[in-house]
Structure formats: C-alpha cells, structure tokens
Amino acid sequence: MATSDRWALLGRLRAGTARLVTPVTETDRKRRRITVLTIPFLILAIFGAFVPLAVMVRMSVSESNFALQGFQLRSYEVLFTSMIAYLPGVGAGMDVNPVYGLVVWNSLWFGALTTVVSVIFGIGIAHGLEKYDLPREGLLVTLISFPISLPGIVAAFMIIVWFSQTGILTNFFAWLSGANPVTIALTGQPSGSLLAIAGLFLGYLYSMIPRATFLLRGSYAEVNTDAEEAARALGATPLETFRYVTLPQVRPGIVGALILTFRTALAIFGTVLVLKALSVITFRFDQEIQVGFNLANASALATVFFVFTLLFTFLGLRYSSAEVTG
C-alpha cells in the first residue's frame, strides 16, 4: 500500500471515529447506537471465543503439556494417520494406533445418526404442535422443552434411572418377559455393545429432539396455509400436501435444524462421560487429559472438529440460503 493510500485510510478512520463520538446526522447517531450495542457482544466474543480458540490452536502445536512453547505437528500427524489407518482396506499394514480414527469416525456416524433421528422426530412434533389444536398444548410444550435446560450429566442419570439394571423400565420389561434385568439393561453393559450404544442413543435423543423441535416450529409458523388448503381442495392427500407444499417451505428450517443439532451431537460431553457406551470425541478428550494428560492431542482433536463443524455450518447455511432465495 502506497504512503498516500495509508494517509487516506487513516484520514477516513479518524473521520469515522469522530462521527461516532460526536454524531452530526441521524445516520451517524444510528451508527453510534449500533456500535454501542455491539461492543458487549464483541467483548464476549473476544474473551469467550477468539482467545480460547487461539490458545487451543497454540496448545495443539506446543511441545510441552505445561507451557505454550516450541512447535510440533506430531499431534496432527498422529490424528490424521490414525484416521487413515482406521479406513478399511486403506490402512492395512500401517504401524499406527487406530484409536483416534476409531474415535473420529464413531463421533461422525453416531452424531449423524442421532441428528437425523432427532430432526425426524422434531418435524413430526413441530407439525403436530402447529397444525393441530392439541389439548393442554402449553403443558405439552413445557414438557418438550424441559430437557433443554438440563446438562448432559443429568440426562445421563435419567437414562440410568429408567434403563439401568435396577431401572424402572428395565425391571418392568423384565417382569413382562421373564428376562434377567442384567441382560436387558441399557446401561452398565460393556462399552461398544449394542445395548450400551442404545442407551447412549436414547441419552442423545433426549437432549437433541427438543432443540430440533423448537427450531422447526419457527419454520412451521411461516408456512403458507392457503397453499396447503388449495392443495387439499384439489384432491391432494395429507401426505402429498406435506411432500409437495409444506416440505419445500420448511426445508430451510430442516437444514438449520440438522446443522445445529449435529453441532450439539458433537458437543455433548456429560452424557458420554457418564454412560461411556461408545468411544467418541468428547470421551477421548477426557481420556487424554485425565489419563495421558496429552493436552496437545486433545487440542488437536478439538481444533480439527472445530474446523470441520465451522465448514459444515457454512456449507449448510449456504445451502439453506440458496433454498430460501431459489
């Protein structure tokens, strides 16, 4: 940048700052109000997001667990080679511990599965709440939204209360079928077993379905009901009306629900730590810090998943915007 351009830029910055401090026109006053209102959020973003993220990235390349010093890429090398080694037919013969690959792929498929199921349930619940005059709808909405206020640890203990070896539903079904409660419990089973994964699956759904539901309710509130009534008047069945009239209108909301719910699935911590039914990313964070105290590996995992989630969010929002404008 030439010297004259720098001086011109500094002059514009001084003039803009002066107009913010002592506004002259109504436009200047509006800009000052917007600036004042955004300052608290900017401060929160700096200290609650940007600084921790910067420290996390720096920690992932630090050579010490106790200080941010040196530079290394071993953590990323271990992570990516492990992911490659876990792929069937690709990592054969590689002398690499595939645990990180196992953790990453488990996190992705389990998060994707619980996201899709949660959004499907959310679509049905939001459709019922918005399209039908349900009795005691206010109480129903309160019950549906209740899990949102609970941390993951509480949700996990609720699964234990209902589905453990001494759980209420476990013993009820054992009484009906004559089975041993120990063999049909969804918690306390060996990690990786189908019953244990089913218990963790229910724990995820308990936390994620309400989020998907309330995201989708906003989309349903904006649906053109006249178009639905016209389709029904022309002989369309309820399923055809939903498929060809309602679904295209709520599709951007479904995309948004998929994005935010999938991010929730990757961020659930307490439920995984309590149930420990499947080795996923949040559980591995705990193992790295408590057992191996390898902050670099844990930070590398967090950084990779942060970048993945960020790119996934931007792509999803871009698709959603295209659906709205298309």
Q: Name the burial class of residue 316, with classes exposed (0-12), middle (13-18) and buried (19+) by CB atoms within 10 angstroms of its CB.
A: middle
**pLDDT score of 324:** 43
Q: Is 29 found in the same domain as 56?
A: yes
Q: Is 135 found in the same domain as 87?
A: yes
**pLDDT score of 304:** 87
Q: Is 234 found in the same domain as 142?
A: yes
CA dist., res. 30 & res. 229, Å (int): 43
Structure tokens at 186: 């969804």
Please provide the average confidence, as pLDDT, over all residues in the chain: 81
Residue 27's domain spans which residues? Answer: 3-60
Residue 163 contacts residue 186 (beta carbons within 8 Å): yes
Q: Is residue 251 part of a domain?
A: yes
**pLDDT score of 121:** 94
Q: Is 216 found in the same domain as 320?
A: yes
Can you give the CATH number for the domain in which 103 is found?
1.10.3720.10
Q: Which residues contact 75 (CB under 8 A, 6 or more apart)?
A: 60, 61, 294, 296, 297, 299, 300
Q: Is 162 found in the same domain as 308?
A: yes
pLDDT at 139 over 50: yes
**pLDDT score of 325:** 40
**pLDDT score of 132:** 80
Q: What is the pLDDT of residues 79-107, one digit of tens each?
A: 888 888 777 666 556 666 677 778 888 88
Q: Is 78 found in the same domain as 32?
A: no
**Number of structural domains found in the chain:** 2
Q: Is residue 67 part of a domain?
A: no
pLDDT at 27 over 60: yes
Q: What are the angstrom distances between the C-alpha of 156 and each of 20, 34, 168, 195?
A: 51, 42, 15, 15
Q: Is 119 found in the same domain as 40?
A: no
pLDDT band for position 268 (50/70/90)? Answer: confident
Q: Is 99 found in the same domain as 48?
A: no
**pLDDT score of 188:** 80
Q: Is 244 found in the same domain as 278?
A: yes
Q: Is residue 225 part of a domain?
A: yes
pLDDT band for position 269 (50/70/90)? Answer: confident
Q: What is the pLDDT of residues 169-218, one digit of tens each?
A: 999 999 988 888 888 888 887 877 888 888 889 989 988 999 899 888 88
Question: In terms of Cα–Cα distance, which of 100, 61, 41, 31 is closest to 288?
Answer: 100
141 or 281, greater pLDDT: 141
